[in-house]
């Protein structure tokens, strides 16, 4: 077995510290040095998993370009196994605006995939067959391979996905939710329909995250469980990747046998610890396992 398999979601973040969000209207603003660093959701999960001591394999496409070099260098500083293809359109990237409180706004350039999937069904099936858990990012190139992924799963191996800011209606996200056993989704756009949407995804376990307001855990046959946010161990520096760290903490807890409620509380602590670090290249032992 190869441990946690993360499919898709590598990119770079152009991180800009700004005086406030939303930005004041001005011709120009002086800011701190603008950084180019590894980012996006798959990287957030993979790097948090490495910091928590999980064995991780990352599968994706990135460009043969300077942003792609940033990703390769960051992953080379970990013990993660990488299975990468080259995309002529270049590496996905985001401009992340971060205010003094660590809150962020992301402008995402997805570099949409065109043509047949970069990995054959047989290649993906071979990787899935060696995993102990599979986490699928909602990348466009993965959608056509989802049935292959599900069919290749060994008995007892679960699938998770993060639907991010899904509104509960966009049909793009639905196949990812349907292939998964465990679904993470932000409550920002769901708002008042969060509970209804989570319940509709039964029999899956669903975690709706609410940032500094914690999270809610929904399981079939159980009442919803409110999970309070944890207190960061140091001042908040950057909330980029906090949701990915939460998902990773939950997976780490479940993989070691924790009950869902225990795993969710641990996930909140991991997310809080991630906010106290500048960027996603977390130090080993980001948060010791209990």
Length of the chain: 290
* Model confidence band, residue 102 (pLDDT cutoffs 50, 70, 90): confident
pLDDT one-digit tens code per residue, 257-287: 999 999 999 999 999 999 999 889 999 888 7
Asked if pLDDT for residue 1 goes beyond 60, the answer is no
Cβ(274)–Cβ(39) under 8 Å? no
What is the DSSP secondary-structure string of 37-106? Answer: EEESHHHHHHHHHHHTT--EEEEEEE-SSHHHHHHHHHHHTS--EEEEEE-TT---EEEEEE-TTS-EEE
* Model confidence band, residue 288 (pLDDT cutoffs 50, 70, 90): low
| Average pLDDT score over residue span 86-91 | 93
Residue that is written with structure tokens 């799963």 in the block:
153
DSSP 8-state assignment for residue 212: G
* Model confidence band, residue 115 (pLDDT cutoffs 50, 70, 90): confident
d(CA 53, CA 48): 9
Higher-confidence residue: 84 or 26? 84
Asked if pLDDT for residue 290 goes beyond 70, the answer is no
Asked if pLDDT for residue 2 goes beyond 70, the answer is no
pLDDT one-digit tens code per residue, 6-57: 999 999 999 898 999 999 888 999 999 998 999 999 999 999 999 999 999 9
């Amino acid at each position: 077995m190869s441990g946690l398999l993360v499919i898709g979601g590598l990119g770079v973040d152009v991180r800009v510290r700004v005086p406030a969000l939303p930005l004041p209207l001005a011709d120009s603003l002086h800011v701190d040095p603008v950084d180019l660093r590894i980012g996006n959701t798959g990287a957030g999960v993979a790097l948090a998993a490495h910091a928590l001591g999980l064995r991780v394999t990352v599968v994706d496409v990135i460009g043969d370009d300077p942003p792609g070099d940033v990703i390769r260098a960051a992953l080379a500083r970990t013990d993660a196994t990488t299975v990468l293809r080259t995309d002529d359109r270049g590496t996905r990237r985001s401009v992340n605006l971060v205010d003094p409180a660590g809150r962020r706004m992301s402008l995402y350039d997805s570099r949409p995939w065109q043509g047949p999937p970069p990995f054959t069904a047989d290649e993906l099936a071979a990787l899935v067959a060696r995993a102990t858990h599979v986490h699928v990012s909602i990348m466009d190139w993965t959608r056509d391979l989802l049935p292959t992924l599900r069919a290749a799963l060994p008995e007892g191996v679960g699938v998770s996905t993060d639907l991010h800011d899904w509104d509960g209606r966009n049909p793009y996200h639905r196949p990812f939710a349907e292939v998964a056993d465990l679904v993470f989704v932000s409550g920002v756009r769901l708002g008042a329909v969060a509970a209804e949407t989570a319940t509709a995804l039964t029999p899956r376990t669903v975690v709706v995250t609410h940032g500094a307001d914690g999270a809610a855990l929904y399981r079939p046959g159980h009442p919803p469980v409110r999970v309070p946010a944890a207190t960061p161990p140091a001042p908040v520096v950057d909330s980029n990747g906090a949701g990915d760290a939460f998902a990773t903490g939950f997976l780490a807890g479940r993989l070691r046998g924790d009950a869902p409620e225990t795993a969710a509380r641990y996930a909140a602590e991991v997310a809080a610890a991630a906010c106290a670090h500048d960027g996603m290249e977390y130090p080993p032992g980001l948060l010791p396992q209990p």
